[in-house]
Chains A and B, each alone.
Chain A
Amino acid sequence: MSSLSTPTKPAAGVAQVRTAKVGSMQRPRYGIHLFLILMSILWLIPLGWAVFTALRSKADTDRFGYFSFGGAFNFDNFVTAWNQGGFARLFTNSLIIVLPSVILTLLFASMMAFAVSRFSWKFNITLLIMFTAGNLLPPQVLAAPLFEMFKHFSLPYSISGSGNLLNTYFAVIAVDTAFQVGFCTFVLSNYMKALPQDLTEAAFVDGAGVWRQYWNIIMPLTRPALAALGTLEVIWIYNDFFWPLLFIQSGSLLPVTTGLNNLQGQFLSNYNLLAAGAIITVIPTLVIYLALQRQFVAGLTLGASKG
């Protein structure tokens, strides 16, 4: 397998790469830097203010004011917010939703993309259009029918405390997956189209069935796109507010992003705790961002530059 030529990668390693341009003269551009520094400061102020507030105790800010440097700086608010907000549970709930959703999304999207990009059959473009369009609809358009469908879908009480699909993770995972499959199918089909046809042609001659061509040949070569989309989808679904808001009623089942809605009420009288709670929620995305920034950006811009 290793002797296979590397396929052209559409939009791999975008954005942050190669700024070097030949022979551009290096006159200092103070104006541009001044503007960019100013904008950067403006950009960092809201987050910086949240961190600043989170590091100080309520007692100190009450005494010296929020806009001051008096008093101690420590992580006490983070510990308190973590415990009072039940973040351990919120994060677990997020994980229970995000992991299956992302895996199912990539699985279904890659199967569909494989079928539409490597074979020609009657409705493949029609279906691809349908998938792409579905991802662009405002979620609120689907809210009432999905809510009623799930409410009237009976489940044994041993599986769901509500006796139906409401207030279960199945509902959130299913809709998250359905909503994200469209975009991923679109991106992956473009990526797979760019892989040389000879690869599967040769495998076909050797007697490899459709599934082997998909799983053993195309999927390994699609790994860069899958990694980029996977990173993107983890963050998108982690950040999703609407579907859990609609389907999940009990606070103990909410994921972090939707749970923040309740925390805001709970911590309203204590801005320091609210700030700490907000920063705690940022941390997972921040870690993924710092570790996988290139993947994330590549996912966003996949196909955006000419492949």
Chain B
Amino acid sequence: MADTTLGVTSSARGIATPGRRRRRYSLLSTRDKLVLGAMVLVPTLIQLLLIWIPTVISVMLSFVRWNGLAFSDIRPGGFANYAYVFRDYPPFWPALQHNILWLVFLAVIATPLGLLLAILLDQNIRGTRIYQSIFFAPVMLSLVLIGVIWQLFYSQNNGLLNFLLGTSGTSRAVDWFGDPHVNIWAALIAATWRHAGYVMILYLAGLKGVDPSLREAASLDGANAVQTFFRVVFPVMRPINIVIVVITIIESLRAFDIVYIINRGTNGLELISALVIQNLVGEGQVIGVGSALATILLVVSLVPIIIYLSRTFKKEA
């Protein structure tokens, strides 16, 4: 579930017309109302029961002390869990820094790399399909598998990277996933391998949709390729740009699988999402602390989610 998938309601503009003619609910027969009601009710109940009610419970649990055993053990806790997380829980601040680093790295390296590949591949390049298939292939792989594959590449004694650097077998051989000074960077490169391909394919689809006459007009006016892109194409791609920004933010908040497979998100690879799970499972379950971390993650995540939703649904409401 490490994948953020977003669609653009570019059709938001298109809906208006058929929308006006959409059938009024009140014109339906009783039987049809019941059928339609069931079609809405079943998925809605699933969403409420398995997504939204648990979200609310998560927030509530962050204000209690609980070992996760019997419900009768639940004690009110006020803001004690938050105070503990902010003041006395050593991995919290490193985890927050790592999440921010994750976001900055994806935003500054991975996403622009994906954009660059998309722009280059959009230029009627020979063999573009082969290039696309290569860059896109990692998007098909789970982040767990990506962790394993890069582990083989990064391994201290047997990995290709240390062989290529000539340090393999010597004391200078770096344990790329193990050394807490470098492992976050190693994990970020592995994550980039996937993220860039994802951004590339989304952006490429957007570029294909740009009206070619815009570019022709720009080139007739004497704009060069760079000017055409930044002054004409990029502004037209605004809906896709927003989707890519939101995907980048949400992916960096959701990052979990890859650090969990490497070392369960410890020793240099702390992320908020991994800390949530560390507090929920294993010895001395501290549901309250885990839920406080989950609530912090929720609040931060709601910012890009609300921005995205308000932009997407503004025209429809």
Contacts and interface: CB of A to CB of B under 8 A. Distances in A.
B149 interface: yes
Interface string A107-148: 011011011111111100101111111111111111111111
A141 B301 CA distance: 10
B124 A190 contact: no
Interface stretch (B54-62, B78-86, B103-111): B54-62
Given A143-B280, A214-B39, A301 B313 contact: no
A6 interface: no
Nearest to B139: A300
A157 interface: no
B32 interface: yes
A141 B58 CA distance: 7
Question: Which of B1, B138, B297, B309 is packed against the most chain A CB atoms within 10 Å?
Answer: B1
A287 to B, nearest CB: 10
A264 B148 contact: yes
A111 B44 CA distance: 11
Where chain A touches its partner, the secondary structure class is helix
Contacts of A177: 46
A49 B11 contact: no
Where chain B touches its partner, the secondary structure class is helix
Q: For chain A, which range describes its interface: under 10, 10 to 19, 20 to 34, or 35 or more residues?
A: 35 or more
A34 B293 CA distance: 46
Contacts of B3: 236, 239
Q: For chain B, which range describes its interface: under 10, 10 to 19, 20 to 34, or 35 or more residues?
A: 35 or more
Contact of A297 (B136, B142, B158): B136
B43 A181 contact: yes
Given A49-B153, A145-B54, A242 B10 contact: no
Given A61-B158, A236-B1, A282-B141, 4 more contacts: A46-B153, A111-B39, A144-B290, A305-B10
**In the complex, the 7 A-B pairs of residues with the closest C-beta atoms, listed nearest first:** A305-B209, A239-B142, A145-B54, A303-B7, A301-B205, A178-B50, A67-B163
Interface of A: 10-11, 14-22, 24, 29, 32-33, 35-36, 39-40, 43-47, 49-50, 53, 61, 66-67, 108-109, 111-112, 114-122, 125, 127-149, 152, 174-179, 181-183, 185-187, 190, 193-194, 196-197, 200-201, 204, 209-211, 214, 232, 235-236, 238-243, 245-246, 257-258, 260-261, 264, 271, 274-275, 277-278, 281-282, 285-286, 288-289, 293, 296-297, 300-307
28 contacts: A14-B204, A14-B205, A17-B208, A40-B130, A115-B40, A118-B22, A119-B24, A119-B36, A120-B22, A120-B23, A125-B317, A128-B313, A143-B280, A145-B53, A178-B47, A178-B51, A183-B7, A209-B31, A210-B39, A239-B141, A242-B1, A260-B148, A278-B148, A278-B149, A296-B140, A297-B201, A301-B205, A305-B208
